[in-house]
Chains A and B, each alone.
Chain A
Amino acid sequence: MKARGLRALGVAVAIAVLWEGAKTLFAIPAWKLPHLHEIAGDFVRRTGTDQLYLWVIAQNAGVTALESLIGFALGSAVGLVLAIALSHSRVLERGLLPYVVASQTVPILAIAPMIVVWLGTTWFSKAVIAAYLTFFPVTINMLRGLRAVDADALALMHALAATRAQVLVKLRLPASLPYLFTALRLSATASVIGAIVGELPVGSRYGMGVVIINAAQYYNWRPANLWSAMLVSALIGIVFYHLVAVVERRVVSWQPAAAAA
């Protein structure tokens, strides 16, 4: 644990050295790459209404995190149900899977405003956009996991004259848990992106999407502002990813230590 902390610190220091080194060496102006202390300083500045900016951004991050979380749960559930349905019927798979794939080729930037128009600028519309990005990895991975069951493990169930439901609950689902968690790691970060994109259309008042839009508008005047927004957005995704990894280690305890994050 300690070694890991040190390693992370080492990487952070290396990035900082590279960052500042490049800035000095190539004389990169602040509007292209601000100083690290300027980005850090952005968090402790006072806003126009005399609030600590760290507090303001934390509130917005909280809104985005909540939307992502709900979208993540919603999308995972939909993805799981869809995978189970598709795995039970080749006809269904052949009929539906192309549309499932097509849904992900449409730019989320085009879909998001439409969902917001349909559902209103509520937290729910953002959660739905997050779910839209979340369900896909779950469906694809679970479909694979549910089908990748060992032939003899299946023969055993057959020899026991198990019902389809029993095969699903006692064999296919537990056997595909490692596949599920691989998907959930992907989905965890995708759900944050989805929520942020959902906050971009006009009308939203809170969330990292709003913070990013505002920061982008004033970029020339205060470039560090956009960098701090990016940093916080990334942080939400990283925290989500690690939460999934923690749950995975508990649930899939029979697996020899899943690849560390």
Chain B
Amino acid sequence: MAAGRGGGVIARGEANVPPIIELASVRKTFASPAGTMEALADISLQVDAGEFVSIIGPSGCGKSTLLRIVGDLVEPSAGTVQVNGKSPRQARLDRDYGIVFQTPVLYEWRTVLENVRLPLEVTGRPRAERESRPPALLRLVGLESFRDHRPSQLSGGMQQRVSIARALALRPAILLMDEPFGALDEMTRERLNQELLAVASETNATVMFVTHSIPEAVFMSSRVVVMSPRPGRIERIVRVDLPPERDEKTRALPRFFELVTTVRQSLRADANPGPRDPR
């Protein structure tokens, strides 16, 4: 594997392969007693296999909703979605994706190992795999010595690593991540960024990553999708032309800062729309 320790390689989409995730003119409106609220307006996006795509935008721009539409956890109001060449529903039933939420969502009555084993139990995998895979996954995220701990005995960063290991249990082609490191401190976040890159390239997973951290998005992604607030639209897609090999040095590159600035300006462009901008 190309992945070095603590580093990762960004895969490039290949020209002739159909995209693994394809959204065309997707809309989402939520009905509430106060009327309908338009969460997403006309989203079209293609993600190639092996890509790491971040979705960034202010709170309430519908980026989580977008991710959940891909995962068939939310139904789009209009538009078409294809995941791994199928409907999102079929992709979900085929367990084509693993998901990581903002909170670790570990089942507190299960040990760390049992939490990682959950997907293998639900899908009725053979006993041999149920026994061998969870320890291997915990090794991947560096938590093998905590296998018999309760989730509550782990720090927030460790809990989120367990949840990543669980998402990888069924070797999914796609990883959907909904602000997984949002609640972590900066140091932990940066370390987990690199770990995730290593894990993603090792497993060849396509990652769709929702975040509100600009450096995080630039550091990890092949492309950063910048969204505008309500109703959520794609404001701009920034291609990250940093070297595919990413490590601590990447964060010091002038190009890294340029890209961070580009993304920030794209966010600013619509975060304060119109003449009401006080600045």
Binding site for B on A (CB under 8 A): 150, 152-153, 155-162, 166, 170-171, 174-175, 177, 252, 254, 256
Inter-subunit contact A161/B99 (CB<8 Å): no
Nearest CB on B from A180, distance (A): 13
Inter-subunit contact A161/B93 (CB<8 Å): yes
The reply to whether the CB of B1 lies closer than 8 angstroms to some CB of chain A is no
The reply to whether the CB of B101 lies closer than 8 angstroms to some CB of chain A is yes
Inter-subunit contact B101/A161 (CB<8 Å): no
Q: Which residues of A contact B152 (CB under 8 A)?
A: 254, 256
The contact string, 1 if C-beta is below 8 Å from chain A, for chain B 113-130, is 000001101110000000
The reply to whether the CB of B82 lies closer than 8 angstroms to some CB of chain A is no
* Inter-chain pairs besides A155-B105, A166-B122, A175-B107, 20 sampled, C-beta below 8 Å: A155-B73, A155-B99, A155-B101, A156-B101, A156-B105, A159-B71, A159-B73, A160-B118, A160-B122, A161-B92, A161-B93, A161-B122, A161-B123, A171-B107, A174-B107, A175-B109, A177-B109, A254-B108, A254-B150, A254-B152
| A218 CA / B279 CA spacing, docked (Å) | 89
* Interface class of chain A by DSSP: helix
Listed by A's residue number, 8 A-B pairs whose Cβ atoms lie within 8 Å are A150-B105, A155-B68, A156-B101, A160-B119, A170-B118, A171-B107, A252-B109, A256-B152
User: Quick one: which of B92, B105, B108 contacts A152, CB cutoff 8 A?
Assistant: B105
- A155 (CB) vs chain B CBs: closest residue: B73
- B89 (CB) vs chain A CBs: closest residue: A161
Q: Which residues of B contact A252 (CB under 8 A)?
A: 109
| A170 CA / B119 CA spacing, docked (Å) | 11
Q: Which residues of A contact B95 (CB under 8 A)?
A: 160-161
Which parts of B61-106 form the interface with A (CB within 8 Å)? 68, 71, 73, 92-93, 95, 97-99, 101, 103, 105
| A160 CA / B150 CA spacing, docked (Å) | 22
- A157 (CB) vs chain B CBs: closest residue: B122
Inter-subunit contact A156/B93 (CB<8 Å): no
Nearest CB on A from B203, distance (A): 17
Inter-subunit contact A159/B92 (CB<8 Å): yes
The 4 closest A-B pairs by CB, nearest first: A174-B109, A152-B105, A160-B122, A159-B99
| A175 CA / B109 CA spacing, docked (Å) | 8
Q: Which residues of B contact A159 (CB under 8 A)?
A: 71, 73, 92, 97-99
| A160 CA / B124 CA spacing, docked (Å) | 11
- A256 (CB) vs chain B CBs: closest residue: B152
Q: Which residues of B contact A150 (CB under 8 A)?
A: 105
Inter-subunit contact B107/A153 (CB<8 Å): yes
User: Quick one: which of B92, B99, B121, B123 contacts A170, CB cutoff 8 A?
Assistant: B121
Q: Which residues of A contact B150 (CB under 8 A)?
A: 254
Q: Which residues of B contact A152 (CB under 8 A)?
A: 101, 103, 105
